[in-house]
């Protein structure tokens, strides 16, 4: 992480005031920064779900997670309440200034209406890979893990509450079953639509995409990914956090480092 990036301010949900990006980390060997889109966005909620699912493994590997999302304080509080993300993980960037500085994909700006632009991106316009990713939610994925344990209660209105074992009717527990990911996304959609005014305050930023960056304690970048469309938050959607183990294995402290996509410097 270069000095200019480290000095960039984000808003602390815990303390209620701006803090420098370089000052938000715990003293751990690795630092994972997720720069998300709007807090009320498919990508942001789904990425948070994966991070919380793998929280213990990330901790065991010595990875501090920090998540910067677009939104105001009420959106941040609602987001943490819904996802169960620790408030200490979440920082806010209401005007997406960090996104702009990192040259993250602005998304479609074809019309003056941010919501319409987002709907066009959901249909695949200016959003490569989105339609295939939507389809994967319905068809399943043998390369991806199952999302719901057999006894887990899955609440995704307007569907009735159901147990994770329901998905055994369409597949085994060793992979992502048909309709399973679509159900998780339906749950997220219900949350957002039910609290739209809390989550979304700047409609012109609805199409702004995010990125993922990983550094070691010395500031050496180990990985970077920039989103190029809706549901494009992961380079390998089947297992979105697999890059962590690969990057740590190839970090300077473990051996020769492989090239990690793109630089995360400002400028």
Measuring CA to CA, which residue among 96, 61, 90 is closest to residue 78? Answer: 90
pLDDT at 252 over 90: no
Taking only the tens place, the pLDDT of each residue in 109-165 is 999 999 999 999 999 999 999 999 999 999 999 999 999 999 999 999 999 999 999
Give the model's pLDDT for residue 13: 95
Domain over 3-137+195-249 is classified CATH 1.10.3720.10: no
Q: How far apart are the first and last CA of the chain?
A: 13
Alpha carbon distance 91, 3 (integer Å): 19
Question: What contacts 234, CB < 8 A, 6 or more positions away?
Answer: 47, 212, 225, 240, 241
Domain boundaries, the chain: 3-137+195-249
Give the model's pLDDT for residue 159: 95
pTM: 0.92
Identify the sign of the CA torsion 69, 74, 77, 81.
negative
CA angle 6, 227, 57 (to 5 degrees): 70
Give the model's pLDDT for residue 260: 44
Give helix 114-122 / helix 130-139 axis angle, nearest 10°: 60
- The whole-number average pLDDT for the span 192-214 is 96
């Amino acid at each position: 992480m270069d000095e200019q990036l480290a000095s960039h301010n984000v808003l602390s949900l815990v303390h209620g005031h701006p803090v420098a990006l370089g000052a938000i980390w715990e003293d751990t060997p690795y630092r994972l920064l997720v720069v998300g889109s709007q807090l009320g966005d498919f990508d942001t909620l789904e990425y948070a779900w994966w991070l919380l699912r793998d929280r213990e493994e990330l901790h065991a590997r010595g990875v501090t997670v920090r998540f910067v999302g677009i939104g105001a304080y009420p959106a941040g509080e609602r987001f943490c309440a819904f996802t169960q993300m620790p408030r200490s993980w979440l920082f806010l960037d209401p005007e997406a200034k960090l996104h702009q500085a990192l040259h993250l994909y602005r998304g479609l700006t074809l019309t003056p209406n941010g919501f319409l632009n987002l709907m066009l991106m959901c249909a695949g316009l200016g959003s490569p890979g989105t339609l295939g990713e939507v389809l994967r939610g319905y068809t399943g994925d043998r390369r991806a893990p199952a999302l719901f344990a057999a006894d887990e209660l899955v609440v995704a209105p307007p569907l009735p509450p159901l147990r994770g074992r329901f998905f055994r009717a369409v597949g085994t527990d060793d992979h992502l079953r048909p309709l399973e990911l679509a159900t998780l996304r339906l749950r997220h959609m219900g949350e957002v639509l039910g609290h739209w005014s809390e989550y979304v305050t700047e409609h012109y930023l609805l199409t702004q995409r995010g990125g993922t960056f990983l550094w070691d304690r010395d500031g050496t970048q180990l990985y970077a990914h920039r989103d190029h469309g809706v549901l494009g938050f992961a380079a390998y959607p089947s297992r979105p956090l697999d890059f962590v183990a690969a990057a740590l294995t190839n970090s300077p402290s473990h051996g020769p480092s492989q090239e990690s996509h793109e630089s995360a410097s400002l400028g």
